[in-house]
């Protein structure tokens, strides 16, 4: 009986251990929001400004231009010019900014506004007022130069007399009969000049070296120094003449294209692209025959004007 009583204890199943609790899954942090890419503002469309070619007695620029080509008795700019200005006039008054270079030939040239680039001027009187400034170099040949506005670059000048009353950021190279120094005159670089006598007080306003060359009087025979280099004034005059001729030829060619019209001008370009050999050959023959025919016309009486026109056309084509 005792054995039977022990059977349940022997065959009893062991207690199953409790299942451990599964730890809770950690919360995954929310994905941060990607910031919205800001819209790139559209590039503003820069309006295309016109280019003006004017041939008249009086020219007034009253609307903004990209480039200006003008030949007149009087030219006045009352609106800004984005790029370059090419002017041949008896009187020129620049009162609005020029974004590029200024090329001017005339009797009286006045710059009363900032010029971002270089200035090339030839005239009886060239003046940069206190309201004017030059961002590049000033290259000038004139009977009288009045510089009262600052020049960021160099100054290359040939003048009968020159007044320096502003700051020059570069070097100065000058040939003059007389040099006057103003209260605000200063030169950051060197100063090389030719004049009859040295200018007192110049060293005090020049940051670099000062070099003076005595100007020979007009009575000295040029044959005494055959190896002497041409004077700076003569070099400026030669440069002005060649530059003026270059502008004139550009104006003549541009006027001819305008007179021909768009279709005719485009036809010239297509002909050159389609038949380059024939076009170049014809141009070469014309360049050879035109001066000969023009010379023959000059030695006769009736076609004399044709000879002048022929030589003019030849020099335009040659340029």
For residue range 139-156, what is the model confidence (pLDDT) as tens digits? 998 999 999 999 999 999
Tell me, yes or no, whether 283 lies in a domain: yes
Supply 243's token pair.
Answer: 């530059």
Residue 168 belongs to a domain: yes
Instruction: Please compute the mean of the pLDDT values over residues 98-125 and round it to a whole number.
Output: 93
Between the CA atoms of 47, 53, 54 and 60, what dihedral angle is there, to the nearest 10 degrees?
30
**In terms of pTM, does the model score above 0.75?**
no
For position 49, what pLDDT does the model report? 74
Portion of the chain with pLDDT greater than 90, in percent? 39
**242 burial via Cβ count (<10 Å: 0-12, 13-18, 19+):** exposed
| 177 shares its domain with 72 | yes
Residue 42 lies in a domain: no
More confident call, 254 vs 157: 157
Q: Are residues 203 and 74 in the same domain?
A: yes
Let me know whether 81 and 207 are in one domain.
Answer: yes
Mean pLDDT score, 163-171: 96
For 4, the token pair is 């039977």
Confidence of residue 105 (pLDDT cuts 50, 70, 90): confident
3-state helix, strand, coil in the chain (%, to 5): 30, 35, 35
133 and 197 share one domain: yes
Show which of 188, 221, 254 is a domain's final residue: 221
Residue 26 lies in a domain: no
Q: Are residues 197 and 306 in the same domain?
A: no
Contact 310, 289 (CB under 8 A): no
Q: What's the mean pLDDT in 56-72?
A: 87
Burial 96-112 (b: 16+ CB within 10 A, else e): bbbbbbbbbbbebbbbb
Whether residues 127 and 251 share a domain: the answer is: no
Do 161 and 310 share a structural domain? no
CB 121 within 8 A of CB 136: no
Q: Looking at the structure, tell me whether residues 129 and 260 fall in a common domain.
A: no
What are the pLDDT digits (tens) for 211-241? 999 987 655 444 545 445 555 555 655 555 5
Do 57 and 201 sit in the same domain of this protein?
yes
What pLDDT shows up at residue 72? 83
Q: How many domains does the chain have?
A: 2
Query: Binning pLDDT at 50, 70 and 90, where does residue 191 land?
Result: very high
Q: What is the DSSP letter of 99?
A: S
Q: Is residue 181 part of a domain?
A: yes
Percent of the chain with pLDDT over 70: 53
User: Are 213 and 243 contained in the same domain?
Assistant: no
Across the range 273-289, mean pLDDT stands at 53
| pLDDT the model gives residue 228 | 52
Same domain, 263 and 141: no
Asked if 80 contacts 97 with a C-beta cutoff of 8 angstroms, the reply is yes
User: Do residues 126 and 146 lie in contact, with contact meaning Cβ atoms separated by under 8 Å?
Assistant: yes
- Confidence grade of residue 97 (pLDDT, cut at 50, 70, 90): very high
The answer to whether residue 3 is domain-embedded is no
Q: Is the same domain home to 94 and 149? A: yes
Note whether residue 8 is domain-resident.
Answer: no
Higher pLDDT, 138 or 242: 138
Question: What pLDDT, on the 0 to 100 scale, is given for residue 82?
Answer: 93
For residues 130 and 59, which has the higher predicted lDDT (pLDDT)? 130
Q: Which range of residues forms the domain containing residue 257?
A: 232-318
Question: Each residue of 2-51: pLDDT tens digit?
Answer: 555 555 555 555 665 666 676 666 676 666 676 777 776 766 655 677 77
- Averaged pLDDT, 60-71: 89
Domain boundary, last residue among 221, 244, 260: 221
Whether the pLDDT of residue 310 is over 50: the answer is yes
Q: Which helix (H) or strand (E) holds 192?
A: strand 191-195
Which 3-state string (H, E, C) describes 33-93? CCCCCCCCCCCCCCCCCCEEEEEEEEEEECCCECEEEEEEEEEEECCCECCCEEEEEEEEE
Instruction: Average the pLDDT over 81-96 and give the result.
Output: 92
Examine the fold and report which residue of 221, 246, 271 is the final residue of a domain before the chain moves on.
221
Q: At CA 23, angle to CA 17 and CA 26, rounded to 5?
A: 170
pLDDT at 17: 64
């Amino acid at each position: 009986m005792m054995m039977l009583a022990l059977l349940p204890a022997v065959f009893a199943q062991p207690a199953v251990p409790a299942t451990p609790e599964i730890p809770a899954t950690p919360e995954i942090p929310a994905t941060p929001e990607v910031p919205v890419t800001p819209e790139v503002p559209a590039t503003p469309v820069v309006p295309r400004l016109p280019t003006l070619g004017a041939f008249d007695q009086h020219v007034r620029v009253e609307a903004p231009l990209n480039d200006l080509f003008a030949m007149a008795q009087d030219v006045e700019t009352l609106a800004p010019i984005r790029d370059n200005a090419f002017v041949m006039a008896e009187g020129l008054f620049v009162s609005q900014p020029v974004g590029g270079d200024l090329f001017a030939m005339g009797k009286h040239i006045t710059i009363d506004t900032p010029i971002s680039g270089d200035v090339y001027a030839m005239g009886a009187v060239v003046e940069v007022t206190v309201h004017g400034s030059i961002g590049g170099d000033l290259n000038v040949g004139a009977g009288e130069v009045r510089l009262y506005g600052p020049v960021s670059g160099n100054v290359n000048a040939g003048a009968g007399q020159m007044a320096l009353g502003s700051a020059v950021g570069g070097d100065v190279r000058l040939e003059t009969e007389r040099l006057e120094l103003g209260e605000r005159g200063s030169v950051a670089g060197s100063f090389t000049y030719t004049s009859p006598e040295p200018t007192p007080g110049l060293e005090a306003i020049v940051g670099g070296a000062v070099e003076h060359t005595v100007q020979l009087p007009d009575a000295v025979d040029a044959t005494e120094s055959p190896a002497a280099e041409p004077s700076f004034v003569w070099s400026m005059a030669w440069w002005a003449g060649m530059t003026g001729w270059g502008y004139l030829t550009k104006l003549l060619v541009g006027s001819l294209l305008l007179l021909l019209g768009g279709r005719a001008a485009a036809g010239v370009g297509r002909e050159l692209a389609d038949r380059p050999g024939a076009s170049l050959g014809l141009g070469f023959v014309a360049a050879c025959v035109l001066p000969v025919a023009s010379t023959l016309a000059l030695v006769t009486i009736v076609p004399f004007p044709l000879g002048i026109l022929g030589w003019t056309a030849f020099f335009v084509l040659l340029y």
